[in-house]
Structure formats: C-alpha cells, structure tokens
C-alpha cells in the first residue's frame, strides 16, 4: 500500500479513479524528463513549493488523501505540519504574497506527503493552462540554455476537468482546514 492510499472516508472506486489520474500525469511528466535529462524539476529543488502565490485548492478526494497521509506520519511530524498549515493560512490572511507549502521539508527540499500530493503539485512544471505557463524561471532558463525543441506539455485544464467531473468542485485550504484539523486531532487521541 502506498502512503495516502488508505482512507476510510474514500471508497475503493474513488481511490482507483484518483490513482488513474495520477498515473496519467506521471506518464506525461516522465516523457518530458526522459527526453530531457537537464529538466530542473527534481527532488531537492522545491522552488515552486517555497513560493506559493495562492493557497492550495483541490477536490475533496485529494484532501481526503492528504488527511490519510497525515494520519500515517509520526505524531511529532504531524503536529509540526499542522502548525505549519496554521502559519501558512495566517500568512496569507495577513497579506503575504508568497508562502511556503506547509508540507515541505525545507532542508531535504522534498514533500513530506509526496505520494499523497495533489494534482496541482504533480503537474507544476510539466503542464500548461491555456496560454498560461505553470512553471518557474528555472524551467525558462533550462529551456533557453538547452535550446529545447518542441515540448508536448500536459493540459492542466484537462486534468482539472477530469478531477472535478469525478470528485466535485475544488475546495480551498481555508474551507477544508477546520474540519480536517478536527478529524486529525480526534484520530490522534
């Protein structure tokens, strides 16, 4: 069983549907990196995780998977991440333009709930949303310095449509957090 796969609130059909979407994203990302060994999106970079312009929004199924992953963590690590979510929410409410993701292990440059991360995190750096590029300046620099040939980007809107068609509308972190916090605290006792 992979981290975040078990969640008593998510039935098996929903888990499978979410995994199918994850696998299609992974396939697109792998094809880009297989042809371009210089691609900057690798473990340890995490620049995108350190500069979130908006709080995460995702479907209920993605939030449920994150809750399950949080429950699998050691109590101390989970407490640190929960406090990090509170700081992240407070910073955005306070007007901070960019915030670091609460789930990022800054020293390792890696996500502490990597297997349960949402589609937005899985697609960043590999997908486009219409004319909008969804990547950072490191990718721009890598594309330029490697005189990159045409890239078949993934379609971010297509992924979002598949997710919302199967799992309902996207929910903001602020809307999800109070209930999740209560459920996580109840499960920890």
**Tens-digit pLDDT profile for residues 115-145:** 999 999 999 888 887 666 667 888 888 888 9
pLDDT the model gives residue 94: 92
- Tell me the mean pLDDT in the region 8-12: 70
d(CA 162, CA 7): 21
- Tell me the mean pLDDT in the region 140-163: 87
pLDDT the model gives residue 145: 92
Residue 8 scores a pLDDT above 70: no
Do residues 97 and 53 touch, judged by C-beta distance below 8 A?
A: yes
- Tell me the mean pLDDT in the region 7-35: 88
Q: Which one has a higher pLDDT value, 181 or 168?
A: 168
> Could you tell me where the beta strands, DSSP code E, fall in the chain?
57-58, 104-105, 110-111, 127-129, 132-133, 154-155, 171-172
Instruction: Kindly report, residue by residue over 55-80, the tens digit of the pLDDT.
Output: 888 999 999 999 999 999 999 999 99
d(CA 122, CA 60): 17
- Tell me the mean pLDDT in the region 157-168: 94
- Tell me the mean pLDDT in the region 80-87: 92
Residue 19 scores a pLDDT above 80: yes
pLDDT the model gives residue 4: 43
Cα-trace Rg, the chain: 17
Give the pLDDT band (50/70/90) at residue 20: very high
């Amino acid at each position: 069983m992979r981290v975040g796969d078990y969640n008593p609130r998510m039935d098996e059909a929903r888990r499978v549907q979410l995994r199918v979407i994850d696998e299609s994203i992974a396939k697109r990302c792998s094809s880009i990196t297989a042809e371009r060994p210089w691609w900057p999106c690798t473990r340890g970079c995490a620049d995108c995780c350190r500069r979130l312009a908006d709080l995460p929004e995702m479907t209920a199924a993605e939030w449920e998977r994150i809750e399950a992953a949080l429950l699998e963590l050691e109590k101390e690590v989970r407490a640190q991440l929960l406090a990090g979510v509170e700081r992240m929410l407070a910073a955005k409410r306070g007007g901070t333009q960019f915030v670091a993701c609460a789930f990022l292990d800054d020293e390792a440059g890696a996500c502490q709930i990597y297997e349960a991360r949402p589609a937005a995190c899985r697609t960043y750096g590999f997908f486009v949303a219409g004319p909008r590029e969804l990547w950072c300046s490191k990718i721009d620099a890598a594309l330029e310095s490697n005189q990159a040939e045409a890239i078949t980007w993934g379609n971010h809107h297509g992924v979002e449509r598949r997710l919302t068609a199967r799992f309902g509308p996207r929910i903001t972190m602020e809307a999800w957090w109070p209930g999740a916090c209560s459920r996580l605290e109840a499960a920890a006792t």
